[in-house]
A and B are shown apart, each in its own frame.
Chain A
Amino acid sequence: MFDLQWLLIAIPLAGAALLLTWGKEADGFGHLIGTFASAASFVLGVVLFVRLLGEDAAHRSHSTDLFTWIQAGRFHVEMSFTYDQLSGLFVLLITGVGTLIHIYSIGYMANDARRRRFFGFLNLFIAAMLTLVLAADYLVMFLGWEGVGLASYLLIGFWQHKESAAAAAKKAFVVNRVGDLGMALAIMLMFAQFGTTAVGAVNAAAPGAAKGVATALGLLLLLGACGKSAQVPLQSWLLDAMEGPTPVSALIHAATMVTAGVYLVVRSHGIFDASETARNAVIVVGLVTLLAGAWIGCAKDDIKKSLAGSTMSQIGYMMLAAGLGPAGYAFAIFHLITHGFFKANLFLGAGSVMHGMDDDVNMRHYGALRKAMPYTFATFALGYLAIIGVPPFAGFWSKDKIIEGAFDHNIWVGLGTLLGAGVTAFYMTRMMMMTYFSEKRWQDDVHPHESPKVMTVPLMVLAAASALGGLLLLGNWIPDWLSPVVGKVPEEDLPISALSISLLALLVVVIGVAAGYLLYGRRPVAAETPADSSVSVFARAGRHELYGNELNDAVVVRPTRHLTRFLVWFDGKGVDGLVTGIADRLGDTSQLLRQPQTGYVRSYALMMFGGAALVLLALLVVTLA
């Protein structure tokens, strides 16, 4: 039965191939094929998962080798997949949320002439993402890793007639290349050190490797994870990626693809367990990103960019948890899953609002939409309660566990996560107030209306999942379930009791909500974005994404440009100069040789006579001498 896991990937891949090669006869029903492929993969995922539940805990890892992919000397790569507790959960998340977003897109993209192609790309993404999580070899994982990068590029730039979308797609691709370089180097190092790139073998061998090797591997993998998961310092692409259609933002840039970095760290736990330096680097990256993302989320007026900042911040939480080692792996995955639910819910809710507001993304043009869009409002509100961490919604349980783990690790890291929770509550309340409460600030000719059923039903399902996701923690289920893969969660030794940490977190959330309400709920909101000069330094920095783009520009782009200019100059004057110089000298010489060629017969005759006389003279000299 588990030998069929390749079908999980093959079905959406076939869907993508069908949709992208079929002509426009398929325009009328292409979206149904795409949705069906994703749903079929989901059903198979559920069947496999149920089978897995019924098995003995120690034997829940099932590997299959499809064929030998690469065989060259000592280098041997099997096209192999592993279905175990971790990848099983991911398969459910990817295909489940993926299918809901496929359904939603039927409505959202209804008026787009290229809807069939859109669904083809979505299927391609699902196939690539499943390859990534099922891979039993780092090289196969890299295949999926690049596949999701390609799908992300294609979908960000789906509306490529907009220059900003085309530029954003390129930016995402280029920034991701930097991260992929880290991953590629890590794979090469694995092969050089261990002679294999199989996930299981590498993680088994990592504890026995030299300390420096484990640290180098960990840092290189972290670089890869930073690129894909938009963590500082490779975060700049995610906010621009919001140029893509909203379902794409929900599926790829919130729920699944951007969490691939967290998956990579958890999957490579053998390497990270062996190196404390690498783990600490993961924690630092996670903490910095979690605060930076929350900061950006507070300042943006664009609802999607604000949510993108929030995504960065929540993935920061996951990264941080993954950096805590065995104490955090399970909770990183737990938060990843609940985040997948509520962030997809929030993004699709934002898409529904945009759908009713003529694709306006500026929250300052919203206001008082709760009556116009009751379903969207209700589902968004559930997602809101989940993300800020109000019990008993999903986000509370997952975030609380991470905050506990952070306090257990280090008091300052703990305080950082606590601060992040407060800021999250603030910016989400701000978004809630500006969109659904306060007074109408609608532009002329905008008539907000509720979205069709095909869009609201997926919202409701996701809202239910956001509300109930915490059930996964019931009876300590998720840590126990994942313990054969990532190791047992050690006993905590908290400086203060777990209950007081939860209460503290709740208090911080209440403060955040109150601040958001006082600033945006009670006071009227300006319908136009205040000028940069009239807002505080903090807001200005947040609006400019903490000057990340300016930094990249100064540190990378401009020096590269200067280098290019130098190289062009050197190529023109140096290399070309040498080659054309030789040719020029040859030309000059032949000019000189041309001079005697006058074309007059008599001058040739004179030369002949002269030559003959010379020969004669030489003969005479030789004979007489």
Chain B
Amino acid sequence: MSSYITLSLILFTIGSVGVLVRRNAIVVFMNIELMLNATNLAFVSFSRQSGNLDGQVAAFFVMVVAAAEVVVGLAIIVSIYRTRRSTSVDDASLLKS
């Protein structure tokens, strides 16, 4: 059991470090997906351990939200790439005057 949680923790840590250190928006996106899947894994594991389906239902919700997020996020990244010819998140800092 604990090995599943350990794997989930490792995946989440890799994902969060990736979000913080990588500049390419697509890689950042992939890391977010990694974090989401790490949580899904944790949900499913805890669900299995406690013997009810609550965690699995939550995992489905996360997947749906993640799918929607990917659609919106990728659309934004594509349109930014079209105007700026770059997907670096540091270049898109227009809100700082």
Please report A residues at the B interface, Cβ cutoff 8 Å. Answer: 597-602, 605-606, 609
Contacts and interface: CB of A to CB of B under 8 A. Distances in A.
Contacts of B69: none
B89 A601 contact: yes
B68 interface: no
A602 B23 CA distance: 8
A605 B19 contact: yes
A315 to B, nearest CB: 74
B16 A609 contact: yes
A606 B16 CA distance: 9
A492 B92 CA distance: 108
B96 A597 contact: yes
A599 B95 contact: yes
Q: Which 3 A-B pairs have the closest CB atoms?
A: A599-B96, A599-B93, A601-B89
9 contacts: A597-B96, A598-B96, A599-B95, A600-B93, A601-B92, A602-B19, A602-B23, A602-B90, A605-B20
B12 to A, nearest CB: 11
- Chain B contact surface mostly: loop
A597 B97 CA distance: 10
B71 interface: no
B21 interface: yes
Interface string B1-27: 000000000000000100111010000
A609 B96 contact: no
A270 B94 CA distance: 86
A605 B95 CA distance: 15
Interface string B63-78: 0000000000000000
Nearest to B93: A599
Given A599-B93, A602-B21, 14 more contacts: A597-B96, A598-B93, A598-B96, A599-B95, A600-B89, A600-B90, A601-B28, A602-B23, A602-B90, A605-B19, A605-B20, A606-B20, A609-B16, A609-B20
Nearest to A599: B96
A30 B94 CA distance: 75
A600 to B, nearest CB: 6
B40 to A, nearest CB: 18
Contacts of A609: 16, 20
Given A609-B16, A609-B20, A602 B96 contact: no
Contacts of B89: 600-602
Contacts of A605: 19-20
A606 B89 CA distance: 14
Nearest to B22: A602
A595 to B, nearest CB: 11
Contacts of A599: 93-96
A557 to B, nearest CB: 53
A364 to B, nearest CB: 77
Contacts of B90: 600-602
Name the residue in A597, A600, A601 with the highest tally of chain B Cβ atoms < 10 Å from its Cβ.
A601
A233 B95 CA distance: 72
Nearest to A597: B96
A602 B91 CA distance: 12
Nearest to A612: B16
Contacts of A598: 93, 96
A602 B93 contact: no
Contacts of B20: 602, 605-606, 609
A600 B96 CA distance: 8
B88 to A, nearest CB: 10
A248 to B, nearest CB: 67
Interface string B36-71: 000000000000000000000000000000000000
A326 B17 CA distance: 109
Contacts of B96: 597-599
A597 B94 CA distance: 12
A568 to B, nearest CB: 38
